[in-house]
């Protein structure tokens, strides 16, 4: 085992992000002691993080109006110099990727990116990546000096309580980063979405180009609501402006692992499949019988996506019809 692993935990409010807790679980698998650098939020969730197995939290605070990555990378570099860990783990979020890149350049270490699994072999870190939309698993051994910088895909590890005491908290305010840190956030426009969070939803109803038009995305949202699920979208229609980025599933969007994933008019580009292949049951609806999404589908329907959506919505909305009862959580 490694003596120490350091994880970057982003806290949007009083609770750590689920990505952060997954990193803690990943770190526990390779290191005896886990410390967390905690960014943002209202204080540090020392109890939750401790319960998940973090011994010590370094409270970075928030970045205020500066774009955080350069300053967070500087803070992590200081922590690494102070008590050198065997690995630094970050989540593949927009901030996490930028921090990993900058930390890599600062420390002269490569980034082990897109990691979906990790283990130690003779005290060397071996990471697993999925390639080609998840059809291949590539295992790579890190052969450089400590620390390894590991960028982990969300939903690759399962967050788990370990019954630990509340973590101790040490102040580690973000240092400045000079010119590199000079980009400022003038405005934040939060996207408020109704229903369960996409990453946590038991049912995801997703739409793609095969919907035919932006208006038809409303049917996806309607069916998602009827099934107490969350709406999702392919990158193609987010780029086209049919759906908000917050709904994007795939490589550059969210990774989801619902019980049921219904894909309407999604052909199944590799970059989409990596975001949803962990779903337990997949239903795919597409006009093209050769669409790659059918390879993953337990139930495939060759047909017109908006037409079938309309009929499903009508059936579920019909009084006394097949509507979702209280059983659909």
Partner 1 sequence: MEVAVCVKQIPGPDSPQEIDPSTGRLVREGQPVIDEADTYGVETALQLVERAGAGSVTVLSMAPGGETSGVRAALAMGADRAMVVSDERLAGSDALGTARVLAAACRRCGAELLVAGTESGDGYSGVVPAQVAELLGWPAVTFVRRIELDGGELRAERQGELGTEVIACPLPAVVTVTAGAVEPRYPSFAGIRSARQKPVEELDLSALGVDPAGVGEAGARQRVVAVRAVEEERGSGEVLEDDGRADERVLRALSEWKVI
Name which of residues 289 to 308 contact partner 1 (CB under 8 A).
Answer: 289, 294-304, 307-308
Backbone phi and psi for residue 287, each to the nearest 5 degrees, phi listed first:
-70, -30
Single out the segment in contact with partner 1 by CB under 8 A; choices: 1-9, 41-49, 167-175, 256-264.
256-264
* Nearer CB in complex with partner 1: 163/191: 191
- Contact by Cβ (8 Å): 111, 151: yes
- Contact by Cβ (8 Å): 220, 308: no
Backbone phi and psi for residue 279, each to the nearest 5 degrees, phi listed first:
-65, 145
Rounded Cα–Cα distance for residues 41 and 298 (Å): 41
- What character string, x for contact with partner 1 (CB under 8 A) and - otherwise, covers 262-291? x--------x--------xxxx-x---x--
Residue from 42, 239, 288, 317 in contact with partner 1 (CB under 8 A)? 239
Rounded Cα–Cα distance for residues 163 and 291 (Å): 46
Residue from 151, 167, 172, 206 in contact with partner 1 (CB under 8 A)? 151
* Nearer CB in complex with partner 1: 55/287: 287
In the complex, what is the shortest distance from the CB of residue 141 to partner 1, in angstroms, rounded to a whole number?
5
DSSP 70: H
* Nearer CB in complex with partner 1: 52/254: 254
In the complex, what is the shortest distance from the CB of residue 110 to partner 1, in angstroms, rounded to a whole number?
5
In the complex, what is the shortest distance from the CB of residue 32 to partner 1, in angstroms, rounded to a whole number?
24
Q: What is the dihedral of CA 146, 255, 199, 186, to 10 degrees?
A: 70
* Nearer CB in complex with partner 1: 163/327: 327
- Rg (C-alpha) for the chain, rounded Å, is 21
Rounded Cα–Cα distance for residues 20 and 5 (Å): 13
- Half-sphere exposure (CA, 13 Å, Cβ side) for 23? 31
Count of CB atoms situated within 10 Å of the CB of 257: 20
In the complex, what is the shortest distance from the CB of residue 61 to partner 1, in angstroms, rounded to a whole number?
18
Backbone phi and psi for residue 241, each to the nearest 5 degrees, phi listed first:
85, 15
- What character string, x for contact with partner 1 (CB under 8 A) and - otherwise, covers 12-41? x-----------------------------
3-state secondary structure of 93: coil
- Contact by Cβ (8 Å): 110, 149: yes
In the complex, what is the shortest distance from the CB of residue 35 to partner 1, in angstroms, rounded to a whole number?
23
* Nearer CB in complex with partner 1: 50/258: 258
Site for partner 1 in 126-145 (CB under 8 A): 126, 130-132, 134-144
3-state secondary structure of 72: helix
Residue from 83, 165, 182, 213 in contact with partner 1 (CB under 8 A)? 182
Site for partner 1 in 85-114 (CB under 8 A): 92-95, 97-102, 104-106, 108-114
- Contact by Cβ (8 Å): 114, 100: no
The answer to whether 158 contacts partner 1 (rule: CB under 8 A) is no
In the complex, what is the shortest distance from the CB of residue 163 to partner 1, in angstroms, rounded to a whole number?
30
């Amino acid at each position: 085992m490694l003596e120490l692993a350091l994880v970057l935990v982003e806290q949007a409010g009083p609770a750590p992000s689920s990505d952060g807790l997954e990193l803690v679980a990943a770190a526990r698998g390779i290191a005896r002691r886990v410390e967390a650098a905690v960014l943002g939020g209202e204080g540090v969730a020392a109890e939750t993080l401790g319960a998940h197995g973090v011994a010590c939290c370094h409270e970075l605070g928030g970045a205020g109006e500066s774009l955080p990555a350069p300053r967070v990378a500087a803070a992590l570099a200081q922590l690494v110099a102070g008590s050198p860990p065997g690995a630094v783990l970050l989540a593949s979020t927009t901030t996490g990727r930028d921090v990993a890149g900058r930390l890599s350049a600062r420390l002269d270490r490569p980034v082990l990116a897109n990691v979906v699994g990790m283990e130690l072999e003779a005290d060397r870190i071996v990471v697993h990546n999925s390639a080609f939309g998840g059809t291949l698993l590539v295992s790579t051994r890190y052969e450089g000096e400590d620390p390894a910088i590991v960028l982990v895909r969300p939903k690759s590890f399962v967050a788990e309580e370990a019954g630990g005491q509340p973590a101790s908290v040490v102040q580690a305010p973000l240092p400045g980063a000079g010119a590199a840190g000079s980009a400022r956030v003038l405005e934040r426009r939060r996207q408020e979405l109704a229903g369960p969070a996409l990453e946590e939803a038991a049912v995801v109803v997703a739409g793609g180009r095969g919907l035919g038009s932006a208006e038809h995305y409303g049917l996806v949202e309607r069916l998602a609501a009827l099934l107490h699920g969350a709406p999702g979208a392919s990158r193609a229609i987010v780029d086209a402006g049919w759906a908000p980025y917050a709904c994007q599933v795939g490589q550059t969007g969210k990774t989801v692992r619902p019980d049921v994933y219904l894909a309407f008019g999604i052909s199944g580009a590799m970059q989409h499949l990596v975001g949803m292949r962990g779903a337990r049951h997949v239903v795919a609806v597409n006009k093209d019988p050769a669409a790659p999404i059918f390879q993953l589908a337990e139930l495939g329907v060759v047909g017109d996506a908006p037409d079938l959506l309309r009929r499903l919505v009508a059936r579920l909305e019909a009084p006394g019809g097949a509507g979702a009862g209280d059983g659909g959580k």
